Structure 1
Amino acid sequence: MSEQREHAESTPDRGLPMLRGDCANCFALCCVAPAFAASSDFAIDKPAGKACPNLRQADFGCGIHTRLRPSGFAGCTVYDCFGAGQKVAQVTYGGRDWRQAPRTAKQMFEVFPVMRHVHELLHYLNEALTLRPAEAVHAELRAAFDETERLTHGEPEALLRLDIGALRAGINPLLLRASELVRAGAPGKKKDRRGADLIGAKLRGADLRGANLRGAYLIGADLRGADLRLADLIGVDFRDADLRGADLTDSLYVVQSQLDAAKGDTHTKLPGSLTRPAHWAA
């Protein structure tokens, strides 16, 4: 099934570096802009626009970066800005951080989540462009990628006016069509569990090849040894799901933060572009 993800000659892996978080070129926007509440994910309450007390403002580094989970900040370990942080910092605001330009700080913090939504869509479009069976829609995917990427270079005011819901509504059918073309290559009847409530579901050893699991809730689900090859996993909530021994080799639209929120081990098979989370069992 690895052939499903080979690059067609006309579909370069465009934009991928810019879609990965580069903290060295950001202003720790994810440590300041979002609000979070004391919970199993965060040890404290923090309002939006206020710097986390663990942030070293001298260099925008995290004072507990190597011990986030034991310090009660597991939520930080599953966050992915998809490269939006450095885009806002270096492109939208030209390298001027929120301390140097306090009058634009509030606006910067509001632009950041908008940019993150746009970069997330770019990430999925980029992945769809690498799927050989979806070549029939590559031209449309490339056009959507280029137009969406153009939006990321807009002025702050233009970014804040973006209708993210409408943008997603225009792109999702393309991503779904690409998914359908790829999943058609999976054997057997394809399960459709789109948006399903599978919280705590017992799916150990389940054959989910080519399944549509878009937006499904798999919180705490037992997926040990499950076969998720060619399954569409966009937006799946894998918090505390048990992926030990599961096969996600050619799963579609799975992102690193989904794995970081789950449990797994050395027997869990992953797409080549993703890494095994450090907290997973040996």
Structure 2
Amino acid sequence: MVHRLKADCDSCFGLCCVALPFAASVDFAVDKAAGQACANLKDDFRCGVHGNLRTIGYKGCTVFDCFGAGQYLSQVTFGGRDWRRHKESAEAMFGALPVMRQLHELLWYVEEALSLSVTEPIHENLREALEETERLARLDGDSLLKLDIVPHRANVNELLMRTSELVREETLRGLKGGGRRKAYGRGANLMGAKLKNADLRGANLRGAYLIAANLSGADLRGADLIGADFRDADVTGADLSGSLFLTQFQLNAAKGDAATKIPATLARPDHWTIKK
């Protein structure tokens, strides 16, 4: 997975700390409106409490991932002009962040789909989707604000669903017993589910609610995890190494450890419990 789709805060003007709103909750200590700079944001666009975010009530900050949208807007779209010195660009820059994040998220999924040999029958379509998404990401700030991304997301999602079918079919063919599995389906409510050591290979968990689910030791190879909610899910010792469409955002939201197997394209979150 290319570096441009991974967050590089040193090359960003703290956009997520300003553009996005948050409300006082278990994830954030205070309310903050969209376009308002977080009180912890320093003049150099770094976080003044980065090392203590989870202990002082800013857990949500440690979970968020922009797929590299922040640094791309900062350095490419707006040519290195920060919103403090160039106030005329601030509104467009902040408004464009959610749009660019969606485009970069789509790029992440499409590039993963293209990296799989099983998707060869739709590689041409995937390459076309990749090129169109990259074209949209190159739009200027004002054009990004006017962009209706919904139709494009829908078109790309059709290819991602086909990718899911191909991957899961191949996974299930390799299992004993003819690949018969309990069906969960899109948006399954698995909040708090007891799935310890569960064999979830090839499962359709698209958009599943896995909040606080016990997935410790579970095998999720070949499972479609796009949009699945992993907040406080226990994935200690789980095998996520061959799962489909897993993101850094989802890993950050979960609870794992050194025994959790993750894809090589993702990083083990710093806040996971690492047993020595």
Which band: TM-score by shorter chain? over 0.9
Match of 1:61, SS?
coil
Q: Deviations over 1:91-150 (max 9, x none)?
A: 221111111111221121101111111111111111111111111111111110011101
**Aligned pair in 2 of structure 1 residues 42, 22: CA closer, same or farther (>3 Å)?**
same
| Residue 119 (structure 1) aligned with residue 100 (structure 2) | no
- Equivalent residues in 2 for 1:189-208, closer than 5 Å: 189-190=180-181, 191-208=183-200
Q: 1:25 aligns with which of 7, 11, 17?
A: 11
Count of aligned pairs between the two proteins? 267
CA contact (8 A) 1:134 1:179 kept: no
- CA-atom RMSD, angstroms? 1.2
Q: Which residue type is aligned with residue 174 of structure 1? A: L
Whole-angstrom distance in 2 between the partners of 1:223 and 1:121? 26
| Residue 92 (structure 1) aligned with residue 83 (structure 2) | no
Which residue of structure 2 lines up, in the alignment, with residue 6 of structure 1? none
Q: 2:58 aligns with which of 65, 73, 76?
A: 73
| Residue 63 (structure 1) aligned with residue 54 (structure 2) | no
Which residue of structure 1 lines up, in the alignment, with residue 24 of structure 2? 38
Runs (4+) of structure 1 exceeding 6 A deviation are: none
Match of 1:103, SS?
helix
- Equivalent residues in 2 for 1:1-282, closer than 5 Å: 16-57=2-43, 59-186=44-171, 187=175, 188-190=179-181, 191-281=183-273, 282=275
Whole-angstrom distance in 2 between the partners of 1:104 and 1:82? 22
Whole-angstrom distance in 2 between the partners of 1:180 and 1:28? 38
Higher relative contact order (CA 8 A, sep 6+): 1
Q: Which is helix-richer, 1 or 2?
A: 2
Whole-angstrom distance in 2 between the partners of 1:105 and 1:265? 39
TM-score by length of 1: 0.92
Whole-angstrom distance in 1 between the partners of 2:64 and 2:75? 20
Structure 2: gaps spanning 5 or more residues: none
Overall identity of the aligned pairs, in %: 59
Q: Which residue type is aligned with residue 64 of structure 1? A: V
